[in-house]
């Protein structure tokens, strides 16, 4: 009897996605290890096609790369890990050579990797374009007092140690937020975040390749007979990419999306700084949207209330809309139902890197709610 699977699909920012290589663990290994503390082997599956050249810690998530082997620019070979499209039969997938479960657990963890651009570099034109949009938008949304307020939020976490010490259970752990190999330190992480934004905020070939890869992966999963539901687990700039791609899904694939997790999301900043607004308005409701944010995280914002990028400042009624969906019968805009969950990563997550942006190691406030969502029957 075939299992009906729950697929947890993990998606990070562009420059922070790394597959396991040699003895170097993959970017989602730590997240999977934290989930396995609360989900046993009969619940959480491991990759049934484990590669012998990867460390044991990488045998949990199924890493699906946009190009395989790495550096080959062969797209189909990577996506074939989720199944192969049946020729002349749209919406049908042959999954006979692409098992997702090991036969024990019904929850499978899939980590998507942009392997053709994982060593991402900023390109001059997108960077300048993003910078110009940012500067032109700043004058519409902030004042000198607002700049001081923003710097007060962003600068101290880069230099100071947290006032509240990490929880005792976190001693000896390492941060799951990784950067490119040659980049270290907090400013390097912020630089990579800026590069991610510049690469995606402008319409360019790189952005279209990313969207096409994520869209194809979700369509393959939604077309499999053994997949009952898909829960998207997104972090940082991956939240923007996921929201962007969700709007492109056909109806049959939308029905498989049972939940959306956003952690450390800059979606609100994309609206105000880069004027996306109605350009990425969603025309269908997203079920079970949980947004995790830390007040010390300069990237994150609450998404549910009608606020500007300055968190306590209301948005004018004529401001851009983003978190709404369209009623197909009346054409009216309806507010998207988003559950904001404020967390304290400085206390409950692993030290190192940009700790306030490290949600996946926060077992108490992120892993446990995610586990509960995975175990709850969703409609």
Q: What residue spans define the domains of the chain?
A: 5-375
Looking at residues 107-135, what average pLDDT do you find? 62
Who's near 224: CB < 8 A, 6+ residues apart?
82, 83, 93, 95, 100
pLDDT tens digits along 271-305: 766 555 545 566 677 889 999 999 888 888 888 86
Contact 220, 93 (CB under 8 A): yes
Q: How far is CA 252 from CA 90, 229, 314, in A?
A: 12, 12, 37
Packing angle of the helix pair 124-141, 267-274 (nearest 10 deg): 80
pLDDT tens digits along 327-358: 777 877 777 788 999 999 999 998 766 788 89
pLDDT at 38 over 60: yes
Burial 128-139 (b: 16+ CB within 10 A, else e): ebbeebbeebbe
CA distance 94 to 284: 29
Residue 94, strand partner residues: 84
CA distance 17 to 177: 9
| Rg for the chain, CA atoms, rounded | 20
Helix (H) or strand (E) holding 148: helix 144-159
Task: Enter the pTM of the model.
Answer: 0.79
């Amino acid at each position: 009897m075939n299992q009906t699977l729950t697929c947890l699909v993990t998606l990070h920012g562009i420059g922070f996605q790394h597959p396991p290589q040699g003895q170097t663990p993959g970017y989602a290994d730590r997240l999977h290890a934290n989930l396995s503390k609360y989900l046993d082997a009969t619940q959480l599956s491991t990759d049934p096609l484990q590669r012998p050249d990867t460390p044991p810690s990488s045998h949990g998530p199924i890493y699906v790369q946009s190009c395989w082997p790495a550096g080959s620019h062969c797209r189909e070979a990577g996506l074939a890990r989720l199944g192969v499209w049946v020729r002349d039969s749209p919406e049908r997938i042959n999954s006979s050579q692409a098992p997702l479960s090991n036969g024990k657990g019904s929850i499978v963890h899939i980590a998507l990797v942009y392997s053709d651009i994982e060593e991402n570099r900023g390109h001059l034109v997108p960077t300048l374009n993003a910078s110009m949009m940012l500067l032109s938008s700043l004058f519409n949304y902030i004042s000198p007092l607002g700049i001081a307020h923003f710097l007060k939020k962003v600068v101290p976490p880069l230099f100071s140690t947290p006032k509240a010490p990490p929880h005792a259970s976190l001693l000896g752990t390492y941060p799951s937020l990784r950067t490119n190999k040659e980049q270290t330190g907090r400013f390097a992480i912020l630089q990579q975040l800026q590069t991610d934004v510049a690469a995606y905020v402008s319409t360019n070939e790189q952005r279209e390749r990313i969207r096409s890869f994520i869209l194809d992966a979700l369509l393959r999963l939604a077309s499999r007979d053994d997949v009952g539901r898909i829960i998207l687990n997104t972090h940082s700039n991956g939240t923007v990419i996921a929201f962007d791609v969700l709007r492109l899904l056909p109806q049959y694939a939308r029905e498989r999306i049972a939940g959306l997790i956003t952690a450390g999301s800059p979606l609100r900043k994309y609206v105000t700084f880069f004027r996306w607004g109605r350009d990425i308005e969603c025309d269908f409701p997203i079920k079970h949207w949980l947004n995790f944010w830390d007040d010390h995280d300069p990237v994150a914002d609450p998404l549910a209330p009608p606020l500007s990028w300055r968190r306590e400042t209301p948005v004018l009624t004529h401001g851009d809309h983003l978190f709404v969906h369209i009623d197909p019968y009346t054409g009216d805009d309806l507010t998207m139902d988003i559950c904001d969950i404020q967390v304290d990563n400085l206390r409950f997550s692993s030290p190192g890197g940009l700790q306030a942006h490290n949600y996946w190691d926060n077992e108490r406030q992120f892993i446990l709610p995610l586990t509960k969502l995975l175990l709850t029957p969703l409609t």
